[in-house]
Structure 1
């Protein structure tokens, strides 16, 4: 049962528990999925909707049913011959009163047995923070919160605590040892004397309370990105590794789980060491697993964003990544590069912004460093400064100069992170630094150039192990580790959560793990990536939808059609801009929405327009408008131009929402509906193409919950809405041929039927899909460029797959994603010799030259299996 054939991802929370999942096991088994793929299952903060804020590593989350429910789910899975992969969070934990480890640190400070579990800088230079933990938890300034009585002394379970709003903080044993029984009255913040006493007591604690907006400037624990409630772990310490993974290892040894997906591996000090250590521990436990549980190697993938020319390191001993690079590749091959020039020109002309995506990303990095990561920047600069001071040859280097150099390196860093260790940088990381240094030299003042080269050398250009043991080596190793942990969150916040919401040339290319600067790739490049994947990570995950995606997989597929009909889109947008000019408002000194925000809104309206929504359906339009409004407000804040999360510009946001609702009223809604209808069928063809490629190219397909039907979801929380499994199960039970579902394609059953047939083929022929060779096939004829095809082969059995692409000229405005045979006239594909059966129920064929109309039947995708 290992490696998995296909995963079905489920998001667990109080509204969808492990027992709820028991009820859908049979459905996923009929679909052909081999393993369920669970969001984090360990105890998270109360009410968590995602599970990434784990507060107790030793317990299965009671909100989703606890361990008893987990055992019931696994029993149901085993009864169907299925397994379970779970998401784990090694980088960080949720902090607060629910986390006993964190509370012990706050109570005992550096003397806590868990002080070394969290990545806390106890030596921060601020004397008010040094030796303490900065807690940015106050809703206003400290004095104001104190005077208003939101901080007060109280008792909880017989112990003195500090009450903060509706929560509490522990007090150090020494500070409360002499408190009298009437201490609550004598420390009453409503009186001057009581307030002074309470302040004096607070000052004795192992933490310093601060206004939450000061976090980015002052926080002295490593966070997950810029989220104050998620504190980084020192997972590189063996004791921490073992304690945080204790339950995971037990569940694996007991046969309850079959593998793990490691969240945010780039946040760790040493991802390579962690992955190898995790693999080693799982291997040692493998033979302890009970009868009935898979004894094959545990499945192990890591969440990792790879640059276009970057590959996951083979020596990490993982099975691959969670599939963002495939999401990029399959999207790019379905876009039409001919649309790039007109769409770029439209964007530049309407917005007045000539900056390309790379320039936007650099600008965003520079802003993010100041807005969100000042504390992390200072921490990294101090680590480099310590490396300078450790060596007498560089003791005169100033902290200010190091900071200047560091900023330019981070601003121009071309990947999420590097992985230098004791041996220094490898060849790829060396090329990364060369590009970063080249970029930094363009913006750095000339006097700092020599220091830039020096800092680059400290950060792995010179192998630390080549240095003699001592303070210089230790300081270099520390600086290198801190720097490498800093680059990833800066990249993620700047690229995914800022530039991706600013640059709106074509939003289908603004996605996690995607370089929005590149609109399309040729078929040859896609084939090369597939062959490379088979040779290196044949069991890596292939994803087109995740819990983190910005736009649903079929929304992106529909928007990709705009690259094919760019001229028509340009004219349409220009007309809408003129037509809706009177609906814009002046808010806070600027017009709302801005041209950029308006152009992106139009894309989302036609891309996400629900199938079947009529423009005169007032209730349906209202529901759609509410969803888009939530996306819009989040997008505006993430862009950080006119508003942001830390200081919302509500007049601008409200004006943008007013504009949205105005353009969706009356006749304007009919125009959006008409354009959405025009691109709907070629968009559906794209959706089917990317689904088929995900299930047939080398790798393990990941089926995100609910996406068996068309997925026009928006960014979270919209993409985590409840799934109607009853409807999906009912349509699956009807077992209708994909061809016969063409006339009712809008309900999603067509997509589900295609997925189910290919997933079941994977089940019947696992070795062909898992190990089969990959060879591109070239069609011939006038429409050859519209066919992407390949053959997989294993021990004489073959699978030929073909998908249509760039079909808007044929399908635009059509009632169904079915291509009239005359469009394929003169185009064919040679099937290898043998007897062939369609996996999509369109008949049987002999090998040889096959006309494209016969290859596809009435569909836009094809999969043919040969007899042995």
Structure 2
């Protein structure tokens, strides 16, 4: 079996199947990829473009070709000594529609369904209308209106021989316990035998045999064409809305308008998506049922490893990963003989804060690489640009005067109040249950707990914590303490006792009962033992564990929705830092800090994945790299935007005074207000009275600059129109995700139209000599610097410790935007043709076609293939750059303890101010002056640059004017030399 060295992510759907992938295996093999990395392969909702809405864990998706086509793909991979890693989705399934059998079963039988505990449903809702039921929030309008409009109808499913309620594509089975009364309502004599069969049928599990027998009689009845009119009579008898309503009220589901979900849903969702229901994979039977196919495919040698989607949504991520690792290890001996050498790769999708290390006790190889994407992306930015860009952004009309962190807190409050209110109530109820268990705390009210809980969640600095056996670890406490102090600053003094009490209930090791409310108010004391411990029982362990779980399942989506899906669309200081897994308030990372986090990854997770593009990124890797140049020229950018705003002011639409949401979420700083007091286009409070407002306009310019294709000319009307359509889709999503003047719940058509019309106007053919020409000119002036940034992050991804991950199509330039733009079809024929184009150095002159990037990837992957232990598990050594241009380069060495091989990666950085408006993405040798790469004795050898085929003799230092003469990056290898490094490294490390 080929060890995992690198992956190529492919997005499968019915437009790109296993057969399509099989036709590309030879291309990826020639590129140097060791494993394909597939989006989910289990059966998803019909027509799914991503596969994360699984409806059947037990079957390979037939839309992708099914298991037979998967087998043919794997056979071709094996023929090229390649493997397959698949994405799995244990956290949630797709619901709604008519294809999830488990979901349909709980709609039918409620909490007595055999799958009732598979889903994370609260069957004991405090709402009497939902007790023992599930909310089904799939109606396009209020229930009463849809019912009266007869959009909700009773139907007959001849295939399953069952009655169900139909609403568009959705199906809601009627419980068989109601069939007898339905037959009576129809008053059809032919139904009399069936009435007897279903009479007094119960919904308990012990009633299921009788229900099955009755169902078979109904099926036989329905196959007789002469009796079909009797079944039609049942449908006619329930056509009247009032009759159908009475039937619906007796079901184990409650149909509801989709907008009710945020406030009333009684099951855990994936974030706030009501089409995805949370799974209780912590239960052994659910774990086995949802992983049976994956385990079988692994044991059979059809797949080699897994990537776990959204691990933070699970009840206990650590325990889940440990269980998954154990099962894969157990199955390893069952695999075909040639596939048993390597353990299964196991990585998790995990968002980490900059000061949050990945836990080392999960049994995983690491994360999927969002942390690396953040780190290498920040490395491209100039820290000196942070302050002037922040000042520029805050001065724009419509921009918030708050810091990014303050905006994130505000957005979290908004998410909890508007999008996740039901989840807040669920967590509060779990804590309130603990309070009621102890007579010392039973008077703690639901409202007080909710108030304090909300502040804890708002101030939580990471996605979640990972307690063990109901107790927080020291690492958990580090983050929990920060949340507690942030909450303390916002709460009344009267809430202090509750603040500490929740600390104990949520895994703290202190006094769990704490002080009673009466004591806190001076109304008395709580009896305690002589030792100071509470005299009354502490919360039951199962209740505290449940509270910890739902708390963690609340902090995670709150952080994601507030930051990634809200503030990242509000805060426009520099969009290249508004990325999944990144903190936009941290604009840059120094080489020293990059070396530090990379060395830690090499030590703790040498097989973690390294990615710079994903199916979820907000901007393509080369879009971000180009925008990073702005951090080096903040004053020029501010002046450019000011000029464009003046140039395009004529295309703005006067704002309707009745737009009540015009200032929602926005604050204007005193400085920016005073600077606009004489502008007739602004209101008295400094807000621009035309749409789009300046802040939105500026973010639009950033998007245009970042995504403008290198080969697009302003004279190409059709090309500009196509580009504009892509940007328009991004703009709509950006406006709605920002949730300021429009959103997905209540779109503001007038505002969105004004913004859309503005975009079309500034990209119109008439603007070729105006804005359109200036946009292309500006992009052309920074494009070369952006390309250097792109090649820098490409090399670092390929040479850093870990598994290099390639997202489909990004072998060439990737100037994509957020999905669905980043999931467009890929022209693999173009990439296949570029494979034999030549060496990287020889392709630099034609850098705009992107072939130089592909050639670098191929050359680096070839070196990884020849020396896999060098890059996956090899030592990492930061190297020093000395000289007048030391801040414009970064370098490190890789050393293998297995075969003595070494490599040195060198990359130009911060090229914007050095290149100026140069057309070629390379710093001239003369500009490097006497800047040199210091070569420690440990790695001193004869090297050859595999990207430029240039040899360097062993020396104490190498001039960057030579190392980076042919390309802005270099990858030096000592292969073929008579090095004694292997013995030296082993001797110095004590491993001889």
TM range (shorter): over 0.9
Cα 1:38–1:398 change in 2 (3 A) is: same
Look up the match of 1:845: 952
1:64-112, Cα deviation, whole Å (9 max, x unpaired): 0000010000000000000000000000000131000000110011110
Aligned equivalent of 2:570, options 502, 505, 509: 502
**1:364-443 correspondence runs (5 A):** 364-422=411-469, 424-443=471-490
- Which deviations, in whole Å up to 9, do the C-alpha atoms of 1:158-212 show, x marking residues without a partner? 3222122343210001011333355655665897xx3222111111100011111
Conservation of the 8 A alpha-carbon contact between 2:91 and 2:281: yes
Cα distance change on mapping 1:189 and 1:598 into 2, 3 Å: farther
Q: Given the two structures, how large is their TM-score scaled by the length of structure 2?
A: 0.86
Q: Does 1:620 align with 2:719?
A: yes
Alpha-carbon displacement from aligned partner over 1:511-549 (angstroms, at most 9, x marks no partner): 000000000111100000111001100000111000000
List, as ranges, runs of 4+ consecutive aligned residues in structure 1 with deviation greater than 6 Å. 463-471
User: Which residue pairs with 1:744 in the alignment?
Assistant: 846
Q: 1:258 aligned to 2:258?
A: no
Mapped pair 1:834 → 2:941:
yes
Identify which range, 411-420 or 841-850, moves more after superposition: 841-850
Distance 1:3 1:405 in 2: 50
Contact 1:154–1:184, Cα closer than 8 Å, also in 2: no
| Separation (CA, whole Å) in 1 of partners of 2:347 and 2:170 | 37
SS of corresponding position for 2:29: helix
* CA displacement at 1:478 relative to structure 2: 1.2
Find the counterpart in structure 1 of residue 836 from structure 2: 733
Q: Aligned to 1:200, which of 224, 233, 246?
A: 246
Which of 765, 788, 797 is the equivalent residue of 1:694? 797
What residue in structure 2 maps to residue 217 of structure 1? 263
Please show how residues 429-578 of structure 1 align to structure 2 within 5 Å: 429-462=476-509, 472-578=540-646
SS of 1:801 mapped into structure 2: strand
- Counterparts of residues 231-250 of structure 1 (less than 5 Å): 231-250=277-296
| Secondary structure at 2:540 match in 1 | helix
Distance in 1, Cα, partners of 2:321 & 2:380: 34
Tell whether 2:763 aligns with 1:656: no
Partner in structure 2 of residue 718 of structure 1: 821
Give the deviation of 1:143 after TM superposition.
Answer: 1.4
Q: Which of these residues, 626, 635, 645, is aligned with residue 744 of structure 2?
A: 645
Structure 1 residue 340 corresponds to structure 2 residue 386: yes
Structure 1 position 432, deviation (Å)? 0.8
Larger Rg: 2
State how many pairs are aligned: 865
Give 1:282-297 correspondences, 5 Å limit: 282-297=328-343
Q: Distance in 2 between matches of 1:38 and 1:44?
A: 14
Structure 1 residues 302 and 166, CA gap change in structure 2 (3 angstroms): closer
Mapped partners of 1:597, 1:771: distance in 2: 46
Structure 2 residue 822 is matched with structure 1 residue 821: no
Picking from 671, 680, 692, the partner of 1:593 is: 692
Q: 1:471 to 1:528 in 2, by over 3 A?
A: closer
Say if 2:173 is the partner of 1:170: yes
Q: Shift of residue 469 of structure 1?
A: 9.9
CA contact (8 A) 1:3 1:539 kept: no
Identify the match of residue 356 of structure 2 among 291, 296, 310: 310
**SS in structure 1 opposite 2:818?**
coil
CA displacement at 1:830 relative to structure 2: 3.0
Q: Per-residue deviation at 1:60?
A: 0.2
Q: Distance in 2 between matches of 1:452 and 1:471?
A: 16
**Distance in 2 of aligned mates of 1:112 and 1:423:** 30
Q: Which residue of structure 1 lines up, in the alignment, with residue 132 of structure 2?
A: 131
Q: 1:787 aligns with which of 882, 889, 892?
A: 889
Distance (whole Å) between structure 2 residues aligned to residue 59 and residue 470 of structure 1:
46
Is this contact kept in 1: 2:470–2:541, CA < 8 A?
Answer: no
Per-residue deviation, 1:293: 2.3
Q: Is the 8 A contact 1:335 1:563 kept in 2?
A: yes
Which of 962, 965, 977 does residue 857 from structure 1 map onto? 965
- Would the aligned equivalents of 1:149 and 1:189 in 2 still touch at CA under 8 Å? no
Gaps of 5+ in 1: none
The 1-side partners of 2:797 and 2:718 are apart by 36
Of the structure 1 ranges 275-284 and 148-157, higher mean CA displacement relative to structure 2 is found in 148-157
- Distance in 1 (CA, whole Å) between partners of 2:908 and 2:305 is 35
Could you tell me whether the CA contact under 8 Å between 1:42 and 1:60 is conserved in 2? yes
CA distance in 2, matches of 1:602, 1:647: 26
Between the aligned partners of 1:389 and 1:738, the Cα distance in structure 2 is: 69
| Residue 362 (structure 1) aligned with residue 409 (structure 2) | yes
Q: Which runs of 5+ in 2 are unaligned?
A: 189-229, 514-532, 663-689, 980-992
Alpha-carbon deviations, 1:274-325, whole Å to 9, x = none? 0000000001100000133243111000000001111111110000001001
Q: CA RMSD in A?
A: 1.7
Deviations, residues 577-606 of structure 1 (Å, cap 9, x unaligned): 222222211244353112211111111111
Could you list the per-position Cα deviations for residues 100-129 of structure 1 after superposition, in whole angstroms to 9, with x for gaps in the alignment? Answer: 000011001111000010000011111111
The CA distance in 1 between the partners of 2:3 and 2:731, in whole Å, is 40
- Report matched runs for 1:133-152 at 5 Å: 133-152=134-153
Q: Secondary structure at the match of 2:467?
A: coil
The one-character-per-residue Cα deviations of 1:614-650 (angstroms, maximum 9, x if unpaired) are 1121111101111101000000000000000011111
**SS of 2:395's equivalent?**
helix
Q: Report how far residue 58 of structure 1 moved.
A: 0.5
> How far, CA to CA, are the matches of 1:232 and 1:469 in structure 2?
32
Range with bigger deviation, 206-215 or 851-860: 851-860
Q: After the TM superposition, which of the residue ranges 835-844 and 509-518 deviates more from structure 2?
A: 835-844
